Structure 1
Amino acid sequence: MPGFFSWIAGFFTTAEPSPPQASEARLFNPAKTTEPGEATEDAQSLTLQLEENLFCWLLDTGPSNLHTDLTPSDSALQELHSRLTNNKMEELPRRPMTLPMLMKALSDDGADRHKLTEIILGDPALTDQILQVANSPYFRTGDHTIESVDQAVFVLGMDGIRNVIAAAVMRPMMAARNSREALFAQRAWSWGLTCARAAEFIAKLRNEDTSALFTAGLLPALSYITIRRELQRIYRAQRGPGEPDAALIRHALTRYQWVACQLIASEWNLPPKYHAYLLAAERPAPDQEQTTLSDGMVIGSREVLRHAHQRNLPEEDLDKIVRLTPEQTGRVRAALKAVLNEGTGG
């Protein structure tokens, strides 16, 4: 896909030769306003604070360890930069074999649940994952255990099963491979699911595509585990046994998260609207009225930190960042609290 990767390369055209010296991308990007009396400094400061709190939790470290000085030409970051821009990522998740059939069936308004069940049952590993995800606190709709795929489709409905399938497809890719990444993988998965559900809830309020925004909401978490694993490969190849420190990981995640999301969406041949959702979250247009993915990630991140008893933003500051009414924000937060209070999920 030379055209797509030429477009991706455009993300880096304004960067300095050394990636660590370039201006950083951000996870949370509040839409700018053209109104003279509505400066964005407060929103930017609050989102940076939330981002730092999130990285402290994900990397299990303190704020001071996130800001260790990096050498301007850090070789690991240079190599990561090169692999991303040239599509040489060894850890980029490959498209699941059954994904095209599933997406076709799910997008067909005339498809019945028996056809969908048949496709799922053709992949035993996916079947097991779907039943585990469907019975997790993030998706469980009652006290009864879902014991079959057909029952899951019937109980959750087509919209519900779309989201379960998206989570089930990504879950194995984010499972820890060893004890060194266990805590990060567990927390990233919990964060990803919470942000995805938040984006879904907001999309429902705005009459947007709930399933597509749920899936898009999972991609940043998948990009995090992908970048961390790629950085680990590079680090060991260059420096031998050892682990990248928190500052190096945080810098790699912050700078390349959105590019990695776009690469995954492209690798999986996701429809153009997924790329549009990701780009709108990374680079919101001035006075953009609805930033559903961004709003979902802000609220989801705050709620997962609240649930984990971590440093957090004051509740009243959410209204300065998200494009929701206080009543809408309250409804989304209440829905997430109910999910999180049921357990950690997955």
Structure 2
Amino acid sequence: MSGSALLSSGAGNVAGNGEPLAKLEDHLFCWLLDSSPRQIAEPSPLTGKVLRELDNRLANNALMELPRQPLTLPTLMRTLASEKTSRKEVTSIILSDASLTNQVLQVANSPFFKVGDQPVETVDQAVFLLGLDGIRNVASASVMRPMLAARNSTESTFAQRVWRWGLTCARSAELIALTQKQESTSYFMVGLLPALSYLTLRREVQNIFDRKFPGQTPAAETFHEAMRTFQWATAQNVAHAWNLPPRYHALLLTAERPAPERDHSPLNDGIVLGTREALRNAHQRNLGDDELLSLLGINAEQLGKVRHVLSRLLAEGLSSR
């Protein structure tokens, strides 16, 4: 069984940074699972069995809850990745799928993407207003959004929070990549995968309980350990099942196992900063400004600019619910 905590890899490999990152991760799980620190730490006798079953399913590519590849994803990814892509081509692909068209318009009108005060009413208008880079991110979020929708009332709170967290981390990773003059679109898409892996693992744990321990309810600690242990492996499983470009696999691998000489990546830093800002906006325990800056590979001025964007998006998103 293997795995590395989402927030304690990357920047967490910096000497002395493990403790605040571990605290931040615990705060995140308490919020996502709507549980107390005691609940996510209290051992459950079934956790070990669940982790072994998850390890076996991952090793054999046998996850029962792995989301299927969206039909338009391969064409969309190829088109969006090309430097020669035109607005007309992007519009045509989106319009070829009625459900994707609906999602794009919803996402384009959400506070995380909306440009100006006027509603976006057509895909062509969305592409024109957002530009190719903007529509790439909207399309990525639109493909992912149905996968992160709650199936029932028992996972409603978790699904809402993990989607909000995922969007914040993805936008944070994208903005940090831009400050470092790196290609940013792939960081946005790959920044959504940890959120999808968390929801997939939550469902996988429930699936195991339904099959092997009927009538029993998974403990918060079981969900916590499953997500903490297997989120990177699950994210790679999704990337593989969806035939995402090799760059996405490489970004996930670099984030999970950063080279010793390079402790920071936009994805790791984006997850740390996105987590902190999502928790802060939700009035949850998080890290102080000095602690946060010490964990990131960007300077105070860059941090201020990224935080300004994230704070505005989160505030507008909260007020629009």
TM-score, L = length of structure 2: 0.95
Q: Which of 6, 12, 15 matches 1:40?
A: 15
Query: Matched residues in 2 for 1:70 and 1:133: separation?
Result: 39
- Report what 1:227 is aligned to: 201
Q: Which of 267, 271, 277 matches 1:303?
A: 277
For residue 129 of structure 1, what is the amino acid of its counterpart?
Answer: Q
Q: Which runs of no fewer than 5 residues in structure 2 stay unpaired?
A: none
- Report what 1:144 is aligned to: 118
Q: Secondary structure at the match of 1:342?
A: helix
Q: Which of 25, 34, 51 matches 1:60?
A: 34
Q: Secondary structure at the match of 2:317?
A: coil
Q: Percent of counterpart pairs with the same letter?
A: 49
**Once the 2 structures are TM-superposed, how far is the Cα of residue 241 of structure 1 from its aligned partner?**
2.7
- 8 Å CA contact 1:202, 1:292 repeated in 2: yes
Query: Matched residues in 2 for 1:32 and 1:305: separation?
Result: 19
Q: Structure 1, residues 100-152: CA drift from partner, whole Å, max 9, x if none? A: 11122212333321222111111100000000000000001110100000100
- Report what 2:254 is aligned to: 280
Which region of structure 1 is more displaced relative to structure 2, 154-163 or 69-78? 69-78
Residue 132 (structure 2) pairs with residue 166 (structure 1): no
Which region of structure 1 is more displaced relative to structure 2, 277-286 or 170-179? 277-286
Give the root-mean-square deviation of aligned CA atoms: 1.7
- Report what 2:5 is aligned to: 26
Q: Structure 1, residues 281-337: CA drift from partner, whole Å, max 9, x if none? A: 112221306411000000000000000000111111012211111111111111100
Which region of structure 1 is more displaced relative to structure 2, 187-196 or 89-98? 89-98
- Report what 2:298 is aligned to: 324
Which region of structure 1 is more displaced relative to structure 2, 313-322 or 236-245? 236-245
Q: Which of 145, 149, 155 matches 1:175?
A: 149
Q: Which of 80, 83, 100 matches 2:54?
A: 80
Q: Structure 1, residues 161-210: CA drift from partner, whole Å, max 9, x if none? A: 00000100010011000000000000000000000000010011111121
Counterparts of 1:128-139 in structure 2, within 5 Å, are 128-139=102-113
For residue 200 of structure 1, what is the amino acid of its counterpart?
Answer: E
Query: Matched residues in 2 for 1:32 and 1:296: separation?
Result: 13
Question: How many pairs are equivalent?
Answer: 319
For residue 27 of structure 1, what is the amino acid of its counterpart?
Answer: L
Residue 233 (structure 2) pairs with residue 254 (structure 1): no
- 8 Å CA contact 2:11, 2:269 repeated in 1: no
Q: Secondary structure at the match of 1:74?
A: helix
Q: Structure 1 residues 100, 30: closer, same or farther in 2, change over 3 A?
A: closer
Q: Structure 1, residues 11-34: CA drift from partner, whole Å, max 9, x if none? A: x4xx5xxxxxxxx5211124477x
- 8 Å CA contact 1:31, 1:288 repeated in 2: no
Query: Matched residues in 1 for 2:282 and 2:47: separation?
Result: 36
- 8 Å CA contact 1:30, 1:322 repeated in 2: no
Q: Which of 74, 84, 96 matches 1:122?
A: 96
- 8 Å CA contact 1:76, 1:231 repeated in 2: yes
Q: Which runs of no fewer than 5 residues in structure 1 stay unpaired?
A: 1-11, 16-23, 34-38
Q: Secondary structure at the match of 1:329?
A: helix
Counterparts of 1:202-241 in structure 2, within 5 Å, are 202-241=176-215
- Report what 1:3 is aligned to: none
**Once the 2 structures are TM-superposed, how far is the Cα of residue 72 of structure 1 from its aligned partner?**
8.2
Residue 72 (structure 2) pairs with residue 98 (structure 1): yes
